[in-house]
Amino acid sequence: MVGPRKLHEIWIEQCEAARTIKDRYGLKAAFDYLVGEKLLNFTGAASEYRAFAQELPRFVSAVRRIFTAEEIAAQPARIEREPSEKDAAQEEDDDPLAESPIRKAARARQFAMIKELLTAPVLGTS
């Protein structure tokens, strides 16, 4: 298990990488990297490990400083639509490696929590 200080360093590096990605490759690539991948994984770990849960508000706050309120409002809807489009294509292909319905539901719940955290007027740290 990674210690709290190390976790802090990891998400700071990920946020710095997202800024670079945003400058070089655009909003979509940066948001997908930081929110759709890194923050999603971090929230999953936060549900199981206290150290991750303690760092989560600071990570979310940093993400909110990287993206504007308008970007945060628009991007989650796009990310939510994309799996549905992929699922429709996979149903036609009957992909044996497709994500299970249980895993899809879990990811949807995690992403809903992320959306709520990113759009909350105030982040609490109780």
Q: Is the model more confident about 86 or about 18?
A: 18
Q: Domain map of the chain by residue range?
A: 4-119
Do the Cβ atoms of 73 and 119 come closer than 8 Å? yes
CB 52 within 8 A of CB 7: yes
Token pair belonging to 75: 């991007």
pLDDT tens column, 57-68: 999 999 999 999
Question: If we measure between CA atoms, which residue out of 41, 42, 19 comes closest to residue 30?
Answer: 19
The Cα–Cα gap between 81 and 22 comes to: 21
Segment 104-126 mean pLDDT: 81
User: Residue 86 phi/psi, 5° resolution?
Assistant: -65, -40
pLDDT tens-place string over residues 3-54: 556 888 999 999 999 999 999 999 999 999 999 999 999 998 998 999 999 9
- Exposure class string for 53-75: b at 16+ Cβ within 10 A, else e: eebbeebbebbbebbeeebbeeb
